[in-house]
Structure formats: C-alpha cells, structure tokens
Amino acid sequence: MDGKTMAIEAIEEERKRLARDIHDGPAQLLTNLTMRLEVVKEMIKYSPEKVLPEIARIQDLMRTSVGELRRMIYDLRPVEIAETGLISALENYAQRCQYLTRIPVMIVAETIIGPLPDLLGIAFFRMIQECITNSLKHAHASQIDVHVSYHKHSLIARVHDDGVGFRKEDTMSQGFGLTGLHERARLLDADVQIESIFGQGTTVILSLPLERQLDMLGVVYHE
C-alpha cells in the first residue's frame, strides 16, 4: 500500500468512525431527549408535580449532548503535527480533554525521535486520540496516563486508565470503541495490545514500526 492509497483509506475509515460516534453519542442522546419530552407532555396532564424534576434531568442530558458534540468537533480539527510536533499536539489535546471532562490526562514522553512525516505523525496521533476517547467515554476513569517512547525502530504509546476495565468477552458484544482503533492499526500495519482487568482499569499498547512505514511512503529518514 503506497502513501496515497493509505491516505485515501484513512479518510474513509475516519468517516466510518465519525458515523459510529454520531450514532452512539449525540444521536442516542437526542432520541432519549425526544422520549423524555413525550413523558413530560403526559406529566403536565396527570402528574404536574413531577414535571420540574424531569425537566432538570432533560437539561442534564442536553448539557451532556452539547459537551459530546464539542468534543467531536474538537477531535475533527486538523492536527498541526508539522508545526507543533507529536508530543506538543498530544499535550494540547490532553489539556482540552481535561478542560471538557475534568478528567486529568497526563502525557509523558521519553527518547522521542525527530519530526515524523505528517501522514505518520497524524495517523499515530489519531490512534492515541482514539484510546483517550475510549477511556473518557467508557472507562469511568479518574485519570488517564499516556507514555510515548521510541524503542527498537518502533514508536510506542502506552495509554492507561484507572477505570472499570472490562472482560475479554465483553469486547465482542459491546465493542468498547475498539473497532476504530483496530481499523487504524490495520492501515498502518501497527500492533495493538489491550490489557484489562475488570474493575481495575485498562492499558492499550500501540506499536508503530517506523522503518517499514517510511519505506511504504518512500521517505528517507534519519534519526
């Protein structure tokens, strides 16, 4: 697969991911709001004393919907890897996530090589972003830690949350946002390892073999 083909496939996979996110997030929340408003209409007739508490719950759902849409819009913004570098882009994203969710997202980097070609840097950023988003949406975590390093010609990212974790069989029936991550990894020929203990959190380890990918893109690269 050459660089142009990989870019086209990446765009298509991004569209699929966006469709899933809209379906699983704002679309379901708006459906829930519609149903609750129907309930309120009946309450006004038969149980007016229950209307105000139900309206308060609807307001909470609306705030959640707005927050989810803002997160999705921010996630879709172009990543200025060339200007800021991978780590700075991750740090900016982590700060934004913490601002929107109040959940600390810590970025630690060690032994990072120089600037990557834009296509690879953005692709790897998106994989880490997917891991963080999964933790924010599903893990009920109080903190997310991201450790990025370079080891044996591969770029490694370790994303850990202290959330609820999951059982292996649950990933088949509920997804837990892992489909998009594996699709991204397939495009890059990257490796994804997921370690989770139910009730004790989840760790995702991403490994991107740089030599192979740079050859695919026709890039001569020096550390």
Percent of the chain with pLDDT over 70: 81
- With a CB cutoff of 8 Å and minimum separation 6, the contacts of 41 are none
- Residues 141 and 201 sit within 8 Å (Cβ to Cβ): yes
Domain that holds residue 185: 83-217
Number of domains into which the chain is organized: 2
**Average confidence score pLDDT of the chain:** 81
Instruction: Among 77, 101, 131, identify where a domain stops.
Output: 77
Q: What three-state secondary structure class fits 159?
A: strand
pLDDT band at residue 84, thresholds of 50, 70 and 90?
Answer: confident
Alpha-carbon torsion 150, 95, 67, 201, what sign? positive
Same domain? 72 vs 107: no
Same domain? 65 vs 99: no
Same domain? 32 vs 110: no
Instruction: Among 59, 77, 95, identify where a domain stops.
Output: 77
CATH number of the domain encompassing residue 8? 1.20.5
Residue with the bigger pLDDT between 160 and 9: it is 160
What does pTM read for this prediction? 0.71
pLDDT band at residue 172, thresholds of 50, 70 and 90?
Answer: very low
pLDDT band at residue 119, thresholds of 50, 70 and 90?
Answer: confident
Measure the CA–CA gap between 217 and 156, rounded to whole angstroms.
20
pLDDT at residue 7 is higher than 70: no
* Residues 193-207 pLDDT 10s: 999 888 889 999 999
Same domain? 97 vs 164: yes
Average pLDDT over residues 6-27: 72
Res 106: pLDDT: 96
Q: Is residue 222 part of a domain?
A: no
Neighbours of 152 (CB within 10 A): 7
- Residues 160 and 144 sit within 8 Å (Cβ to Cβ): yes
**Quick one: which of 105, 102, 103 has its CA closest to 90?**
105
User: How far from 92 is each of 18, 81, 86, 107, 219, CA to CA, in Å?
Assistant: 21, 11, 10, 10, 27
